[in-house]
Structure 1
Amino acid sequence: MTPTTLPLSEPYGAVTCQRAGQGAPLVLIHGVGMQSAAWAPQIAALSLTHQVIALDMPGHGGSAPLPAGAELPEYVAWLHAVLQALDLGPVSLAGHSMGALIAGGYAVCHPEAVARVALLNGVFRRSAEARAAVEDRAAEIRAGSFDLETPLIRWFGASAADQAARAQVAEWLAGVNLQGYAAAYTAFARGDSTYADGFGGIRCPLLALTGDGDPNSTPEMAQAMAEAAPMGHAVVIEGHRHMVNLTAPAAVTAALRDWLNTEGATS
């Protein structure tokens, strides 16, 4: 992988990313508290056939944070500035968790720039109870209360694969920029319905993938996203939770390969 820094104009500042491979462009966006390296298994496999660009989200890795109070539309605008700077033409776009919210919003707002979109462990139209719980967590993080163990317990099971991935994810979370983490988590908490009504206008192939044990990015949400888009398809990986691309990398990569080989858009 080749680390790259893109010097964007204000208000975005520097954006860091990992680039590997050649061919049609595939852009990857990680979730809150992670970094581009969280896509390592997919970068290694998919860069054999594609030009893969894994972005560090604002306030994560080496990317500059967005201004205080930024909501999901500001993260979507940030992605648009990044893709314009990269000048790749229409891209295959995949996001995980918060990255899925950004990718889905981008596909709604800029359909001409997206050849296909994959939403891994995404959230979609939370219940009132679930929304209140995640907004409470966002408020705690903004107040400086950063509980490392709670997300790890929620994201990982007891298998050897889960525990190996948990150790790496714990390291990333422990080193995260707290301001960037709080800002992104707040946008994540408030963004599950921001672009939901626009999914019917996503005319390209859409993959909605999650683990059957993910309590927040549920299989029901994945199915609802797939049903809302004309070319939507849902995949549920059994026996896995939120960080499914790390705990079941072969299954996730296979699903992404199938998605990358899906052609066409509805008229």
Structure 2
Amino acid sequence: MDTVEVDGLRLAYRRTGHGRAVVFVHGGAEDGRVWAPQLDALSDEFTVIAWDEPGAGGSDDVPDGFGLSDYADCLAGLIRALGVSPTPVVGLSWGTTVILELYRRHPEVVRSIVLADGYAGWRGSLGAEEADARLAGVCAALAQPEERFDPTLPGLFAADPPARFVPLLEAMAADVRPSSILTALTAMARADLSHVLPTVGVPTLLIWGALDARSPLSVAYEFERRIPGASLAVIPDCGHVSNLQAPGPFNDLVRGFLQRHG
């Protein structure tokens, strides 16, 4: 794992492979390790980069007052610092919200987009009532004694998590910083980037689990309808964390898209 300094923050990232670069943006209560199957599978053809957002993994804590625009600015800074702009970006869940904000603020660093099981912010995709309820649930979980805190949310998988990834999930959960995840999910709850969707002017692939209980298919269909030229691929029998529950189909979809639009 390497680091780069952006806006006074040390950002950690994993980089492997050779060829055209692609940047992966993880979801909430995760870090770049969640992309392990993609780093392994796609590095034969691409330079695969997975960041740890501020407050996650090996990156510095988030400063006071950090918001969605700051995550996007840090991601843009990392892309520029690594010399891979413009680049394809692939996001999962909360990572898709960061990517939409990245495109809104820094479209010049984005070559193409893959959005998996995501949101235009909770407010933008689920409505104010559900966004507020989810944030209240996060706050309630964080109010528990530290040893009882469990960042795993219901509905992440369509069934039990794949056994081979359980140690990875447990390792990421053990490293979650409660204050940082509260910052990220507060930004997620407040965000409404639905107005950004029609402005996306780069090739866009949507990947969704057919049984996603966190971001239902209705969100995917809205993305498909509103993002010009977007294509939607639905993975059967798959939940919210589609890159871990169905890594083979997920990787094939990303590889094919990058070969066409990378």
| Common fold by TM > 0.5 | yes
Q: 2:132 is matched by which residue type in structure 1? A: A
Q: Kindly indicate whether the alpha-carbon contact (under 8 Å) linking 1:141 and 1:182 is maintained by their aligned counterparts in 2.
A: no
> Number of residue pairs matched?
256
CA distance in 1, matches of 2:6, 2:70: 15
In structure 2, do the counterparts of structure 1 residues 96 and 25 end up closer, same or farther at CA, with 3 Å as the change threshold? same
Say if 1:149 and 1:188 are closer, same or farther in 2 by CA, change over 3 A: closer
- Map Cα deviations across residues 112-153 of structure 1 (whole Å, 9 max, x no partner): 2211011111023213332122121233355456642751x4
What is the identity, as a one-letter code, of the residue corresponding to 2:157? Answer: F
1:75 Cα shift? 1.0
9, 13, 17: which is aligned to 2:13?
17
How many angstroms does 1:47 deviate by? 1.1
1:170 aligns with 2:159: no
AA aligned opposite 1:36: G
Deviation, structure 1 residue 51 = 1.0
Task: Measure, in 2, the Cα distance between the counterparts of 1:9 and 1:72.
Answer: 15
Deviation string, structure 1 residues 80-111 (Cα, Å, up to 9, x no partner): 22122112121000111111111122123222
On the 8 A contact 2:7/2:74 being kept in 1, the answer is no
Distance 2:106 2:183 in 1: 24
* Residue 223 (structure 1) aligns with: 221
Alignment deviations for residues 41-99 of structure 1 (CA, whole Å, 9 cap, x no partner): 11111111111111001111111122223221221111122122112121000111111
Q: 1: distance between equivalents of 2:112 and 2:152?
A: 33
Q: Aligned equivalents of 2:171 and 2:261: distance in 1?
A: 38
**Counterpart position of 1:93:** 89
Contact map agreement 2:158 2:240 (CA 8 A) in 1: no
Match of 1:105 in 2: 101
In the alignment, is the contact (CA less than 8 A) between 1:123 and 1:216 conserved in 2?
no
Flag the 1:80–1:150 CA change in 2: closer, same or farther, 3 A.
closer
Flag the 1:34–1:130 CA change in 2: closer, same or farther, 3 A: same
Q: Is the 8 A contact 2:29 2:151 kept in 1?
A: no
Match of 2:256 in 1: 258
TM-score (norm 1): 0.88
Q: Distance in 2 between matches of 1:263 and 1:55?
A: 22
Q: In structure 1, what is the Cα distance between the partners aligned to 2:242 and 2:46? A: 21
Runs of 5+ in structure 2 lacking a partner?
none
State the shift of 1:167 in Å. 4.3
Distance 2:175 2:260 in 1: 38
- Contact 2:141/2:150, CA 8 A, preserved across alignment: no
TM-score calculated relative to the size of structure 2: 0.89
What residue number does 2:41 align with? Answer: 45
Superposition RMSD in Å: 2.1
Aligned partners of 1:204 and 1:253: how far apart in 2?
20
Q: Which residue of 1 aligns with 2:71?
A: 75
Which residue of 1 is the match for residue 182 of structure 2? 182
Q: Percent identity?
A: 28
**In the alignment, is the contact (CA less than 8 A) between 1:65 and 1:180 conserved in 2?**
yes
The answer on whether the counterparts of 1:104 and 1:119 sit within 8 Å (CA) in structure 2 is: no
Aligned-partner Cα distance in 2 for 1:190–1:79: 20
Partner Cα distance (2:189, 2:162) in 1: 25
Structure 2 counterparts to residues 110-259 of structure 1, below 5 A: 110-124=106-120, 125-141=125-141, 143=143, 147-148=149-150, 151=153, 153-158=154-159, 162-191=162-191, 193=192, 195-259=193-257
- Is 1:35 aligned to residue 36 of structure 2? no
Cα distance in structure 1, aligned partners of 2:50 and 2:226: 27
What amino acid sits opposite 1:113 in the alignment? V
CA contact (8 A) 2:207 2:232 kept: yes
Cα pair distance change 1:50/1:133, threshold 3 Å: same
